[in-house]
């Protein structure tokens, strides 16, 4: 039966294993417990690091501890011994004679005289292991013991006690592994979040710099650099690196050719400083190895930057000698970094293209505005002279009918030039003097102005005067009057005889609207989509027979928008149209000049 001391020690270990986060101390206590409580001469615990078992905790004589502490053994060798061992529950016993000569030379063998007559006597070449697994069956480490009490093969009871200590060592390593995984997940998530957030930087160079810094901090690299390529001949080649700054000499042009030759992207490519062959990097291997020697790196990992199956750059991670290999989680995270940076590079290139196109469009708009203004100014002077001389001839020779045609068409050209000049001014957003304006008064003036034309065309024109008194807005009175005049003029112009045009106002708490409704020819759905476009004329033959410049409504809409308002249209072909001009309302108590 287990001794009370052993059980108390186990209970204390179980409590500490489940409450402490200091795995190193717990493993040390387990190793010493096996020696102090169970009576073994030596107990050693190795932790799995990559594919190597590293002896991290040893209890026993100081000279033995000095010999085997930090000893590194390929995990495959120990697993091979497990396969040859006798199974004692979770323990693995390798009797003398089964271990290979190579393994014996590498192992620690105690100096012990063996009683050959006693079959249960402990032999120096005996080995007793306790593989340490997680609950999911993952190998985490190994516990080895030697020199059992009385130098005899442990009894069943002794093995059970040893198993209990081994179970606690496995639990401690499993808890440590879970903590490490959680820490790694948080660390990698922080890196990916930083890389993804780098896309919000003002430029691609800043984004690359932030990204490589995040990768270097997370993975503990000796050097990281990233390089981007132009897409469709757009964009510049950029580079970023840390801790040594990026210089053109760092770039390896042949690496781009090697990556483009790969059939599968994305993929991570690892290269050692002394590798004699690199199937995936035939052109760039030697230059990359030169870069490694220059930064004292032992290996490199190359990650292509890919967006929409297109190579847009690459990142290179250099690791110092004796640095551990990347875990599967880290490798996946680096691939995600490549994907994120690929997206950032493409988005940056698209933004650069859009900005260039916007700038070109602005230049074209400015050129168009200047061209219109120049031509209009150049036309205005000769038109004024033509009209003046034509009117003079008409006064002296009233019987010349062709003079009336000259005057009429000169006036049309004059109106076009005037509209062109105004359109150019509106496009240029020239500042105007604004003040409080009574919109009702502008509507009355417009109806009075166009009443004569309406009467001549036998069209009824009426204005419904609001009962609230002055309706005050803030704006340029000339521009606001131009909008209302255009709405009323169009309504009268495109309404046939015996039709009607109604001007009405609607006032709410915050805005006022002017609605001009007619019973005219209406506007088709296709034409409504372009009615506010400059120089657009209706496709309706009836509308085309009426003179116009196609600039009145675009000018009116720009004026409305510049005053914080809107100009909207509702129309049905053959029935009529309603134009609605809406503006923010100013308090009616403000005096009108």
Per cent of the chain over pLDDT 90 is: 39
| Range scoring the smallest mean pLDDT among 217-226, 325-334, 350-359 | 350-359
Residue 499's pLDDT band (boundaries 50, 70, 90)? very high
pLDDT at 572 over 60: yes
Fill in the DSSP letter of residue 200: G
SS3 call for 58: strand
Inform me whether the pLDDT recorded for 362 exceeds 70: yes
Tens-digit pLDDT profile for residues 442-479: 999 999 989 988 998 999 999 987 676 788 888 888 88
pLDDT at 345 over 50: yes
Q: How many CB atoms lie within 10 A of CB 143?
A: 25
Residue 109 belongs to a domain with what CATH number? 3.30.450.40
Tens digit of each residue's pLDDT (9 = 90 or more) over 158-203: 899 899 889 888 888 888 888 888 888 999 999 999 999 988 877 8
**Tell me, what DSSP letter sits at residue 432?**
-
Query: What CATH number does the domain containing 534 carry?
Result: 3.30.565.10
Query: What confidence score (pLDDT) does residue 589 get?
Result: 38
> What CATH number is given to the structural domain containing 369?
1.10.287.130
Mind listing the pLDDT tens digit for each residue in 532-544? Answer: 877 766 766 666 6
Residue 593 resides in a domain: no
| Side-by-side strand order, sheet with 42-49 | 72-74, 52-59, 42-49, 139-146, 127-133, 91-94, 86-88
Instruction: Give the helix/strand (H/E) hosting 488.
Output: helix 477-493
Mean pLDDT in the chain? 85
Instruction: Evaluate whether residue 18 is within a structural domain.
Output: yes
For residues 315 and 224, is the Cβ–Cβ distance under 8 A? Answer: yes
Give the bridge partners for 297, in sequence order: 320
> Is residue 406 one of the residues assigned to a domain?
yes
Structural domain includes residue 591: no
The single-letter DSSP state of residue 216 is H
* Predicted pLDDT of residue 135: 81
Quick check: is 281 in a domain? yes
Q: What mean pLDDT comes out for the span 424-439?
A: 71
Mean pLDDT confidence for 206-222: 93
pLDDT computed for residue 549 by the predictor: 67
In 3-state terms, what secondary structure has residue 225?
A: strand
Cβ atoms < 10 Å from Cβ of 50: 11
Whether 335 shows a pLDDT value over 90: the answer reads yes
408 vs 26, which has greater pLDDT?
Answer: 26
Return the minimum-mean-pLDDT range out of 27-41, 234-248, 266-280, 364-378: 364-378
Nearest to 212 by CA among 340, 51, 359: 340
Q: Is the pLDDT of residue 385 over 90?
A: no
377 plus 403 within the same structural domain: yes
Structurally, how many domains does the chain consist of?
4
Reported as a pLDDT band with limits 50, 70 and 90, residue 378 is low
Q: Given pLDDT bands bounded at 50, 70 and 90, which one contains residue 5? A: low
Q: How far apart are CA 490 and CA 113, in angstroms?
A: 120
Q: Is the pLDDT of residue 87 over 80?
A: yes
pLDDT of residue 544: 62
Same domain? For 68 and 200 the reply is: no
Q: What is the pLDDT of residue 591?
A: 43
Q: Is the pLDDT of residue 413 over 90?
A: no
Residue appearing with tokens 């870069």: 291
Residues 226 and 342 in one domain: yes
Please identify, among 427, 458, 485, the residue that sits at the C-terminal boundary of a domain.
427
In a domain, 592, yes or no: no
Tokens of 224: 């990281």
Instruction: Return the pLDDT at 129.
Output: 95
* Residue 1: predicted pLDDT: 45
Query: What token pair was written down for 575?
Result: 């029935």
Which residues span the domain enclosing 452? 435-584
Q: What is the DSSP track for 289-328?
A: HHHHHHTTEEEEEEEEEEETTEEEEEEEEEEETTPPPPPH
Pair 376, 340 in one domain: no
Residue 152 domain flag: yes
**Chosen domain end from 349, 375, 399:** 349
pTM flag (> 0.75): no
Taking the CB of residue 358, how many other CB atoms lie within 10 A of it?
10
- Whether 45 and 78 map to the same domain: the answer is yes
Same domain, 229 and 312: yes
Other beta carbons within 10 Å of 223: 23
User: What is the per-residue pLDDT for 377?
Assistant: 60
Same domain, 232 and 176: no
Among the residue ranges 190-204, 212-226, 227-241, 574-588, the one predicted with the least confidence is: 227-241
Q: Residue 372's pLDDT band (boundaries 50, 70, 90)?
A: low
- The pLDDT of residue 142 is above 70: yes
Tell whether the model's pLDDT for residue 546 goes beyond 80: no
Question: Per-residue pLDDT averaged across 214-241, rounded?
Answer: 84
Q: State which of 140, 155, 180 marks the end of a domain.
A: 180
Q: At what angle do helices 477-493 and 552-562 cross, to 10 degrees?
A: 140
Rg (CA), the chain: 45
- 204 and 278 both lie in a single domain: yes
- pLDDT for res 235: 58
d(CA 300, CA 280): 13
Quick one: which of 67, 61, 53, 42 has its CA closest to 122? 42
117 and 202: one domain?
no
Q: Give the number of residues written for the chain.
A: 593
Residue 518, pLDDT score: 93
Name the token pair of 492: 């009268």
Instruction: Residue 2: count other Cβ atoms within 10 Å of its Cβ.
Output: 14
Is the pLDDT at 376 greater than 90? The verdict is no
Least reliable range by pLDDT among 231-235, 420-424, 540-544: 231-235
Three-class SS state of 37? coil
Q: Which of 85-94, 333-342, 378-387 has the lowest mean pLDDT?
A: 378-387
Sheet holding 239-242, edge to edge: 239-242, 223-228, 310-320, 297-307, 269-272
> Both 244 and 146 in a single domain?
no
404 and 530 fall within a common domain: no
Q: Is residue 590 included in any domain, yes or no?
A: no
Please indicate, yes or no, whether residues 207 and 167 belong to a single structural domain of this protein: no
In whole angstroms, what is the distance from residue 501 CA to residue 461 CA? 5
Closest CA to 214 of 189, 185, 247: 189
Residue 592 has pLDDT above 60, yes or no: no
d(CA 71, CA 75): 12
Query: What tokens appear for 127 in the block?
Result: 């080995």
Angstrom distance (rounded) from CA 313 to CA 332: 18
Band (pLDDT 50/70/90 cuts) for residue 284 is very high
pLDDT at 429 > cutoff 60: no
Question: Is a pLDDT exceeding 50 seen at residue 588?
Answer: no
Residue 186 burial (10 A CB sphere; 0-12, 13-18, 19+): exposed
């Amino acid at each position: 039966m287990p001794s009370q001391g052993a059980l108390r020690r186990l209970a204390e270990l179980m409590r500490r294993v489940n409450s402490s986060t200091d795995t190193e101390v717990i493993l040390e206590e387990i190793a010493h417990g096996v020696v102090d409580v169970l009576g073994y001469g030596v107990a050693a615990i190795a932790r799995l690091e990559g594919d190597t078992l590293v002896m991290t905790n040893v209890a026993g004589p100081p000279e033995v501890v000095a010999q085997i502490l930090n000893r590194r053994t390929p995990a495959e060798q120990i697993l091979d011994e497990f396969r040859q061992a006798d199974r004692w529950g979770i323990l693995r016993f390798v009797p003398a004679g089964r271990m290979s000569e190579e393994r014996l030379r590498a192992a620690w063998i105690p100096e012990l005289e063996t009683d050959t007559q006693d079959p249960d006597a402990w032999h120096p070449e005996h080995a007793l292991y306790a593989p340490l697994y997680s609950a999911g069956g993952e190998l985490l480490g190994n516990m080895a013991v030697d020199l059992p009490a009385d130098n005899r093969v442990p009894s069943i009871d002794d093995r059970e006690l040893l198993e209990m200590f081994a179970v606690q060592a496995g639990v401690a390593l499993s808890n440590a592994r879970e903590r490490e995984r959680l820490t790694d997940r948080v660390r990698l998530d922080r890196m990916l979040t930083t890389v993804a957030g780098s896309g919000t930087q003002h430029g691609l160079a800043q984004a690359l710099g932030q990204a490589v810094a995040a990768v270097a901090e997370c993975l503990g690299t000796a050097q990281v650099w990233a390089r981007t390529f132009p897409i469709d001949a757009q964009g510049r080649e950029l580079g970023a690196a840390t801790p040594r700054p990026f210089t053109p000499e760092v770039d390896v042009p042949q690496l781009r050719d090697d990556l483009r030759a790969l059939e599968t992207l994305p993929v991570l490519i690892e290269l050692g400083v002394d590798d004699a062959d690199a199937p995936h990097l035939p052109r760039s291997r030697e230059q990359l190895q030169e870069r490694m020697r220059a930064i004292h790196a032992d290996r490199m990992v190359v990650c292509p930057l890919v967006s929409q199956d297109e190579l847009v750059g690459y990142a290179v991670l250099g690791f110092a000698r004796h640095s551990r290999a990347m875990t599967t989680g880290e490798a996946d995270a680096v691939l995600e970094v490549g994907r994120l940076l690929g997206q950032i590079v493409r988005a940056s290139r698209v933004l650069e293209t859009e900005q260039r196109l916007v700038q070109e469009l602005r230049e074209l708009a400015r050129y168009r505005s200047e061209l219109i203004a120049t031509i209009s100014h150049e036309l205005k002077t000769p038109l004024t002279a033509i009209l003046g001389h034509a009117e003079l001839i008409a006064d002296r020779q009233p019987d010349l009918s062709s003079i009336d045609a000259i005057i009429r068409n000169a006036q049309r050209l004059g109106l076009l030039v005037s509209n062109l000049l105004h359109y150019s001014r509106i496009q240029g957003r020239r500042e105007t003097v604004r003040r409080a304006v009574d919109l009702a008064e502008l509507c009355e003036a417009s109806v009075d102005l166009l009443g004569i034309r309406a009467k001549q065309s036998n069209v009824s024109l009426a204005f419904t005067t609001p009962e609230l008194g002055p309706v005050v807005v803030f704006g340029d009175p000339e521009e606001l009057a131009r909008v209302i005049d255009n709405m009323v003029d169009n309504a009268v112009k495109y309404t046939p005889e015996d039709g009607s045009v109604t001007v009405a106002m609607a006032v709410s708490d915050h805005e006022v609207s002017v609605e001009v409704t007619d019973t005219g020819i209406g506007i088709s759905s296709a034409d409504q989509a372009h009615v506010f476009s400059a120089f657009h004329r209706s496709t309706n033959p009836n509308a085309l027979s009426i003179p116009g410049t196609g600039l009145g409504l675009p000018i009116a809409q720009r004026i409305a928008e510049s005053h914080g308002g809107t100009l909207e249209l509702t129309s049905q072909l053959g029935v009529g149209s309603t134009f609605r001009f809406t503006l923010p309302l100013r308090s009616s108590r403000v005096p009108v000049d």
